[in-house]
Structure 1
Amino acid sequence: MVSSEPTPKKLTTIEDYKTFLDKFDTFMLDCDGVLWHGNRVLDGVLDTINFLRQNGKKLVFVTNNSTLSRANYVKKFQKLGIEASEKDIFSSAFATAVYLKEILKFPSDQKVYVIGESGIEDELREVGIQAIGLTEDNGTMMNHSDFGQIEPDATIGAVVCGFDLNLNYRKLAKAFMYLNNKKQNIHFILTNDDSTFPAPNGIFPGTGSLAQPLIHALKRQPLVMGKPNKPMLDCFFSNYHTDPERTCMVGDRLDTDIDFGRNGNIATLMVLTGVNTEEEALDPNQPIKPSYIIQSFGDFAKAKDA
């Protein structure tokens, strides 16, 4: 099906950069693939961030990465030379905690079983929700005799799945047991469903891919928090109260970042330093198109002396 959306405008000149920046007050910035690859900040990004802030622009770092809490993200930002506070960071882990606490009114006497890393557990505990799984099941091998020890647990009220470098069969077995218990209404939440994520030396399987064994076995779709889904969007606007017409989502992925902005009826800017290519964005059969395309977010620094 040929897309009916307007062809994205490619920003290539300093005049293009200045005209674009004048249109917006708030920039929602994806991180991996936009600001950095791994632990390397992309060229020009630090200068661009400083330039935008000096001109009164609000920057909110919006990431599907659930491995770090906002507090630990601040530490990472500091190591990379980027100034940021917790209120500047909006992650899928934080959105998940807010959603459980404020939307689902998660009972204080119940626990969340987490497949993921410390970011999810830290954010859940920050809002007063008990989280288990990381300490108990990381690095624990499983034998056939262990199946008899995995049982339903009436104290578990939700299973949250995020990116997990230590994913193992024990975690999947426990999560399946809890979610497959017909006597309890256990919430099944995925922090994001990114199929892949960018690393310095290529693309690797993401959270959405790691969760497929549970989805397939349960024949059940989880509530997905991260971009481009509505729960994340609702949480964002309720937290920041930005003017959608003066807000732009900046990202490297069509199916998450760009679709996220489209779902919120805000402008989108795609950078070419991450997952998707310009050819993919301009493909007539591509239904998700950005409003604008730029080679790199760092290119905006070229406008600071113009």
Structure 2
Amino acid sequence: MANGLPNPLLTADAARSLVDSVDAFLFDCDGVIWKGDQLIEGVPETLDLLRKMGKKLVFVTNNSRKSRRQYSKKFRALGLEVTEEEIFTSSFAAAMFLKLNNFSPEKKVYVVGEDGILEELRLAGFECLGGPEDGKKNILLEANFYFEHDKSVGAVIVGLDQYFNYYKMCYSCRYASLCIRENPGCLFIATNRDPTGHMTSVQEWPAGAGTMVAAVSCSVQKEPIVVGKPSSFLMDFLLKSFNLETSRMCMVGDRLDTDILFGQNTGCKTLLVLSGVTTLPELQDASNTIHPDLYTNSVYDLVGLLQQ
């Protein structure tokens, strides 16, 4: 809380103070850097200015559809030079969670999600099944139908899946539930629980990973281990990759319950931008209990304010 206000607007003085007090900016992507496949106005100028000021830039996204390699390609396609090492995704977090917890390479991973999760798992040395291919499968609910599942699956990972429909829900939830319930010690992991997502540049859609996670969670009557924001799990890798203190970082995001809460949970400064999911009325609503250190309309505001 600054200046006695729960939601202080970013000003020129506050922008200079913020930049002087941090060494690294952690940026969410959807709603902050882009919407769908469209770059948000002023992002290149903002990133260039911060780099020239010697700031480390890191991109932390809950969107598990792409791997770090695939996201690096998307950044380049939008005219932004960002390396894989600067990108931390929830798909990467899921793979690293298994790695850190000594997940047996003899076990398989069943994925309700897209190629980003599959690629990160394979790069980490794990054998996986499921993913987009299961969108082509169906089940026959006949009297003597018996659903087989792989007994060697030791983890189920659920993330954003644009191939999810009623038929895939029947197949994937059944497969996942059998693995979780019947395979001893099988882990249930969610990349994130975001309820919505920017699938296009003009609209937010009620089809975030949280909807897929909810379907599987409901079928198994069990809550997952969440590795994406606001969980602090990703921060462990940030700290290992960059010699920085969390108090010298600023999390920039458009969601209160993921980005801003992630920053607060890990001891970062927080800057909310209103270019994505959260609106000003939502931020100022009396029922809101998550307050950023600062808020502004978009990251581009930093350029104008720092040049005043």
Q: TM-score, normalised by structure 1?
A: 0.92
What amino acid is aligned across from residue 108 of structure 2 in structure 1?
K
Structure 2 segments unaligned to the other structure (5+ residues): none
In structure 1, C-alpha distance between the alignment counterparts of 2:118 and 2:70, rounded to whole Å: 12
User: Superposition pairs for residues 119-268 of structure 1, below 5 Å?
Assistant: 119-134=116-131, 136-145=133-142, 148-167=145-164, 168=168, 169-181=170-182, 184-199=184-199, 200-204=201-205, 205-268=207-270
Contact 2:115–2:132 under 8 Å retained in 1:
no
Matched residue, 2:57? 59
Aligned with 2:21 (options 16, 23, 27): 23
Q: CA deviation at 1:283?
A: 2.6
2:110 matches 1:107: no
In structure 1, C-alpha distance between the alignment counterparts of 2:252 and 2:304, rounded to whole Å: 18
In structure 2, C-alpha distance between the alignment counterparts of 1:6 and 1:108, rounded to whole Å: 51
Structure 1 segments unaligned to the other structure (5+ residues): none
2:8 matches 1:9: yes
Q: CA deviation at 1:202?
A: 1.8
Q: CA deviation at 1:24?
A: 1.3
Q: Deviations over 1:6-53 (max 9, x none)?
A: 5122014x4443332222110110000001111111111110001100
Matched residue, 2:285? 283
Q: 1:125 to 1:272 in 2, by over 3 A?
A: same
Q: 1:116 to 1:23 in 2, by over 3 A?
A: same
In structure 2, C-alpha distance between the alignment counterparts of 1:145 and 1:237, rounded to whole Å: 53
What amino acid is aligned across from residue 193 of structure 1 in structure 2?
R
Aligned with 1:81 (options 60, 72, 79): 79
In structure 1, C-alpha distance between the alignment counterparts of 2:254 and 2:75, rounded to whole Å: 19
Q: TM-score, normalised by structure 2?
A: 0.91
What SS does the aligned partner of 2:49 have? helix
Q: CA deviation at 1:142?
A: 2.7
Q: CA deviation at 1:136?
A: 4.1
Matched residue, 1:39? 37
Deviates more, 1:132-141 or 1:258-267: 132-141
Contact 1:45–1:301 under 8 Å retained in 2:
no
Q: CA deviation at 1:203?
A: 1.8
In structure 2, C-alpha distance between the alignment counterparts of 1:147 and 1:193, rounded to whole Å: 36
Deviates more, 1:198-207 or 1:42-51: 198-207
Q: 1:185 to 1:65 in 2, by over 3 A?
A: same
In structure 2, C-alpha distance between the alignment counterparts of 1:136 and 1:43, rounded to whole Å: 36
Contact 1:281–1:290 under 8 Å retained in 2:
no
In structure 2, C-alpha distance between the alignment counterparts of 1:284 and 1:271, rounded to whole Å: 19
Q: CA deviation at 1:258?
A: 0.4
In structure 1, C-alpha distance between the alignment counterparts of 2:149 and 2:56, rounded to whole Å: 46
Matched residue, 1:298? 300
Q: CA deviation at 1:301?
A: 2.3
Deviates more, 1:19-28 or 1:131-140: 131-140
Q: 1:163 to 1:243 in 2, by over 3 A?
A: same
Identity over aligned pairs, percent: 37
In structure 2, C-alpha distance between the alignment counterparts of 1:101 and 1:253, rounded to whole Å: 28
In structure 1, C-alpha distance between the alignment counterparts of 2:241 and 2:194, rounded to whole Å: 23
Aligned with 1:116 (options 106, 113, 116): 113
Deviates more, 1:127-136 or 1:49-58: 127-136
Q: Deviations over 1:137-172 (max 9, x none)?
A: 132233214983522422101000000011212122
What SS does the aligned partner of 2:250 have? strand
In structure 2, C-alpha distance between the alignment counterparts of 1:289 and 1:234, rounded to whole Å: 24
In structure 2, C-alpha distance between the alignment counterparts of 1:270 and 1:303, rounded to whole Å: 16
Alignment coverage as a number of residue pairs:
299
In structure 2, C-alpha distance between the alignment counterparts of 1:20 and 1:233, rounded to whole Å: 20
Deviates more, 1:200-209 or 1:22-31: 200-209
In structure 2, C-alpha distance between the alignment counterparts of 1:94 and 1:48, rounded to whole Å: 26
Contact 1:112–1:160 under 8 Å retained in 2:
yes
Q: 1:164 to 1:153 in 2, by over 3 A?
A: same
Contact 1:158–1:187 under 8 Å retained in 2:
yes
